[in-house]
Chains A and B, each alone.
Chain A
Amino acid sequence: MSEWQPKILAILCNWCSYAGADLAGVSRMQYPPNIRVVRVPCSGRVDPLFIMKSLQSGFDGVLVSGCHPGDCHYISGNYVARRKFAVLKPLLEFIGIEPNRVQFSWISAGEGERFATVVTKITEDVRKLGPSTRLVKKL
């Protein structure tokens, strides 16, 4: 079998980050093929349960991305999301999940380049950590 490749779930908001990913694509930018994209209406739609569930199902990393603060299509979705993530991230670190497995970013529809950079960064971070084992359900 070939070398292990990290599997990363990218939860992207419809209005900014998903469009940013699209821009990266149509601009033919190169970034690692390790992400699987889930499109959500808004980063505020992201329940921490989705993140936990994906770690439990065996994803090695999770990236959640939404519009920059102030740019939310629904005015305040990303502000609410930010509070959730602000508590989730320290909590995960506290219980001993590697800090880089779950990451958050703001990517606008015009930032195709930034999307490529963010995906490259999280892929490298997760590659360094190796396969996820801590919360993976093996039944």
Chain B
Amino acid sequence: MNVVNDLRKTIKKLLAEKKIDLFVGWEKGSLPMAATPIFITNEDEADRIVFDITCGNNLSVYFTKDKKQFADKKVGIAVKGCDARSVVLNILEKQIDRANVVMVGVPCHGVLDKKKVLAKTDGREVLELIDGGDTVTLKGNGYELSSDRSEILSSSCLSCIYPDAQEYDIFVGEPRGEVPNENRLKEIKEFEAMSTSEKWASTRAEYEKCIRCYACRNVCPSCYCNVCFVDQNDPAWIGNTCDFTDSMVFHIIRNLHVAGRCVECGACERACPMDINLLLLNRKVAMEVKDRFGDVAGLDINGKPAMVDFREDEKQDFIMG
């Protein structure tokens, strides 16, 4: 647990030296499988900070959704690879000022997907979870089992290429470096190999589950419009129904709104109560953006988000004749 100790020390030092007014990190949650975000303003509280497989929340979400909290404050934030890219995007989109953020990178080995853990325990409640690196021990009423870390990781982590923060002020622990992830596009390629009707059947089966709770939108650090297009009622773009077409239009448009901005942190998928494979479309869009425009969301702090930029000589194979 050296990383956690170092992280705590770093936070204490930052607060003591008045380099930050506030630190955003994770603490042990009241449920064993989910760490809770914590805002720390004084040094003594720093010992509550944890960092392990349960720290799934993308904390940069507070920069866009709780702006008042951060007005004129210097904020320290613990960032995994994906979180750091979100923060970079928030900076590029002028939601926060780089000078007011101290990014503390932590080496991420992936975060868990609760649904996968529950599948492992056959739905039995997990009362204690011990993150032992490569193996994770799950304890509950009358059982104890250990699982390979890779078996319970969120799908976003299994396809992750940048586990370390690419932009940071302080890095705690050892960076993992870029992970060459050959399987990243496997699912997409398999999906693309299907016929149009098969694709549609598959999409329909997946998105029919949607109950339009908007958890995916609410947890997304890139979704921060003051009034989301689904909430507008003049014009009412989308009916307030659970009708499949309404849900589908919502998901397609949300995907396009985060095109070139989605960092694939997987927060949406983990938040989804209906277990929809949301990241598949996000990954497909990210792949198109990378292939066509050469952009990867949130990697370049001096760049521009892909969809507000253009080049004159782009490929336009999709334009009619």
Contacts and interface: CB of A to CB of B under 8 A. Distances in A.
Interface of A: 48-49, 52-53, 56, 69-70, 76, 79-80, 82-99, 103-106, 117-118, 121-122, 134-137, 139
Interface residues of B, number: 47
Contact of B284 (A49, A91, A134): A91
Contacts of A48: 252-253, 256
Nearest to A99: B196
B154 to A, nearest CB: 22
Given A82-B319, A83-B306, A137-B239, 10 more contacts: A53-B249, A79-B310, A79-B312, A86-B292, A86-B314, A94-B192, A105-B320, A121-B320, A134-B200, A137-B245
Contacts of B288: 86-87, 90-91
B191 A89 contact: no
Nearest to A139: B243
A63 to B, nearest CB: 8
A82 B202 contact: no
10 contacts: A48-B256, A49-B229, A79-B310, A83-B314, A91-B252, A94-B191, A95-B252, A96-B197, A96-B203, A105-B320
Contacts of B315: 86
A95 B192 CA distance: 9
Q: Which of B203, B248, B292, B312 has the most CB of A within 10 A?
A: B248
Contacts of B249: 49, 52-53, 56, 135
Contacts of B227: none
B123 interface: no
B261 to A, nearest CB: 12
By DSSP majority rule, is chain B's interface helix, strand, loop, or mixed?
helix
Nearest to A88: B256
Contacts of A76: 310
Contact of B316 (A82, A88, A103, A137): A82
Contact of B310 (A52, A56, A83, A106): A83
Contacts of B306: 83
A80 B248 CA distance: 24
A89 B245 contact: no
B248 A86 contact: no
A104 B318 contact: yes
A96 B199 contact: yes
A87 B285 contact: yes
B130 to A, nearest CB: 40
Given A87-B259, A104-B320, A135-B245, A52 B252 contact: yes
Given A104-B320, A121-B320, A134-B200, A84 B256 contact: yes
B16 interface: no
A87 B260 CA distance: 10
A139 B239 contact: yes
B307 interface: yes
Closest 6 CB pairs of A and B: A96-B200, A96-B199, A79-B310, A105-B320, A137-B245, A95-B203
Interface in B216-253: 229, 237, 239, 241, 243, 245-246, 248-249, 252-253
B276 interface: no
A97 B309 CA distance: 27
Contacts of B239: 137, 139
A105 B321 contact: yes
Nearest to B314: A82
A135 B285 CA distance: 20
B93 interface: no
